Structure 1
Amino acid sequence: MDGLILYLHGFCSSPASWKARLLAEAMAERGLAEKFHCPQLSPVPAQAMADMGQWIEAANEPVTLVGSSLGGHYASFLAETYGLKALLINPAAVARIDVGKFVGEHVNYHSGERFGFTAEHAAQLSAQVLPPTPSRYWLWLETGDEVLDYHDAQAFWFGCRQSVFEGGDHSFTRFPEMLPQLIEFAGL
């Protein structure tokens, strides 16, 4: 099977996140562990995208992007930049939110590493907003997302395939049951 999954985690998150670990385990159970890549993203948006761009350019198989929260924004940027398909999970619609409210000190949920998010970083995020090509995307949204208003994602990715589920939360509680569909979407 040809194809790779590049999983992009959210703000203050890491490859140790619940969804990243579940997807890694599901891939390994299917004998596809080497088809899964989930790096620690730089907290600097321009650096994160430069790093992921290099990885995509070096990949010798088709890449499917999977992004959660801020990782959804990144996946959308990379999908448009490289012509890839992307599955977005409760994604951050950067064009529709005030990214300046994130300026300040933050702590990575898993490593405890502290980092600063500056006005320059917020401007880098805003500069990464590209209009979506609807045929590339599948959005998974839960209406109970307490961090991001799912209506923002519905509006920004209007015309894209969208699965909207009642309830849940920002973690996307239905993730375990949706894993087979994610792997199928990637063609694996």
Structure 2
Amino acid sequence: MGYLYLIRHAQSEANSQRIMASRLPFGLTESGKTDADLIAAQLSEKVSIQRIISSPLIRARETAESFSRVFAVLCEEDDRISEQDLGIYSGMTYDQVKKEPQYEMNTEKRWNWVPAGGGESYEMIAKRVQSFFASLNTESRENILIVTHAVTFRLIRAVLENTLPLYPSSFPNNGEIWKIDYKGLGQVHPIESLLLGNSRDFVHNP
């Protein structure tokens, strides 16, 4: 197939306030909107995109809209690439959650940890991510842009590098793009990072 271009949404209001957004309706900051436009324009100088798939959450959709305008491609939505549901911790700041005794601070122990209040474990996220990638047509010649989120990216990388249940502890920056020559589930895929616009500056800082 063509290449996959995965992007973490641009800077959101939750990112700027150090809030754990989960699935709450936080939109992009003005800086995030400007940067999404800039990244889309710069990407268009390098490649053509034939399909855009976004998480349905507003911060992802607003990012995707910048690319839809530049590439003149309608955006599809897929909840399988949405962000982790953090249950009762949704909307807390990073400082607040550190005081919660039942919150799993160790990122290496979240595979089976289910946040109280209807949250998702990393294993649950991995299953929906695997379902999403299994649904992609590897015979297609389309270049596809996929707009998703920080924690979901953690599980996506593990799926692409075929390391599950092990997964990385790091996140991509807001606006960072990963380029993948996708061959299908069960393969080990090299990942090329593209830091366009101001994405180099929007570093995840818990």
TM-score where L is the length of structure 2: 0.31
Bigger helix fraction: 1
Return the index of the structure with the highest Cα Rg.
2
Bigger strand fraction: 1
By relative contact order (CA 8 Å, sep 6+), the higher-ranking structure is 2
